[in-house]
Structures are given as structure tokens and as C-alpha cells.
């Protein structure tokens, strides 16, 4: 259960990080890349913020995520300058890839597929031996 303070900080971080990342993408002139911050959770002691990013196209997702993770100290520094009047200490930022849209897409494909995974469990990708 999140406290009101955690929720307030998470919302503030989500808005500011989204603006920063989208601004950086525009400034660099990178085309065909969409970054959105889907969720931010802050620990009880307000020391760590877990930031979930949704990246499109998915082919570039891991490469972009690694770039953001390697520059997380710079993101935290820029965030501290922006939020110096609202937050005394900016939490450490940990970035994760939010793959919930891919998960939903796989479920949708399974529901619309002609083969029935209940009758043929060996057709499921997770059941196939590697």
C-alpha cells in the first residue's frame, strides 16, 4: 500500500521524466522512436524509484533502455535541478522495460488463433522444448 507521499512523488517523477526523455529524443533528432513512462513506484523510504518505460518500436527497445540506464546519473542530476523546490532529495532511478503491451498482444493472438491451446498444449510456445 502506497502512502500519499509516495504517490505524489511517483506522479511528479513520472511527469518530469517523461518530458525529459521525450525532449531528449526530439533534441537529438531521432525519428521513429516513442518513449513513454508507464509506471513509477517509489520505495517506502523514498530512496529508490522504479521507472517502467514503454518503447516503440520494440526492436530498438533493449538498445534504448541500456542507453538510458547508462545515463541514469545524468537523468537524476537534471531531475534534481528541475525539482529542487519540490524534493529535498531525488531518489535513485532504476529503469525497467514495461512489456505489458507485448503480453497483451500475445494473449490477443492466442484468443484469435485457430488452434486451441487447451486441446493441444504442445502447440504453446512455453511448452516447446528448447
CA 53 – CA 64 distance, rounded (Å): 10
What's the pLDDT at 46? 93
Strand order in the sheet with 48-56: 34-42, 48-56, 92-97
Same domain, residue pair 30 and 91: yes
67 and 111 part of one domain: no
Instruction: Let me know whether 108 and 73 are in one domain.
Output: no
- Total-model pTM: 0.80
Contacts of 11 (CB under 8 A, 6+ apart): 40
For 88, the domain range is: 4-98
What pLDDT is recorded for position 90? 94
pLDDT tens digit sequence for 28-56 = 888 888 899 999 999 999 999 999 999 88
DSSP-assigned beta bridge partners for residue 56: 34
For the chain, give the mean pLDDT: 88
The cell numbers describing 123, all together, are: 502447440
Instruction: Tell me the per-residue pLDDT of 68-96, one tens digit each, with 9 for 90 and over.
Output: 999 999 999 999 999 999 999 999 999 99
Whole-number pLDDT of residue 44: 95
Q: Are residues 69 and 126 in the same domain?
A: no
Amino acid at each position: 500500500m502506497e502512502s500519499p507521499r509516495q504517490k505524489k512523488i511517483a506522479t511528479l517523477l513520472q511527469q518530469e521524466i517523461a518530458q525529459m526523455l521525450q525532449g531528449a529524443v526530439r533534441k537529438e533528432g531521432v525519428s521513429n522512436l516513442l518513449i513513454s513512462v508507464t509506471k513509477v513506484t517509489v520505495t517506502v523510504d523514498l530512496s529508490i524509484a522504479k521507472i517502467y518505460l514503454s518503447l516503440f518500436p520494440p526492436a530498438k527497445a533493449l538498445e534504448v533502455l541500456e542507453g538510458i540506464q547508462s545515463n541514469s546519473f545524468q537523468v537524476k542530476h537534471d531531475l534534481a535541478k528541475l525539482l529542487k523546490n519540490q524534493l529535498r532529495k531525488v531518489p535513485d532511478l532504476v529503469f525497467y522495460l514495461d512489456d505489458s503491451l507485448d503480453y497483451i498482444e500475445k494473449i490477443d493472438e492466442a484468443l484469435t488463433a485457430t488452434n486451441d491451446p487447451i486441446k493441444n498444449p504442445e502447440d504453446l510456445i512455453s511448452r516447446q522444448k528448447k
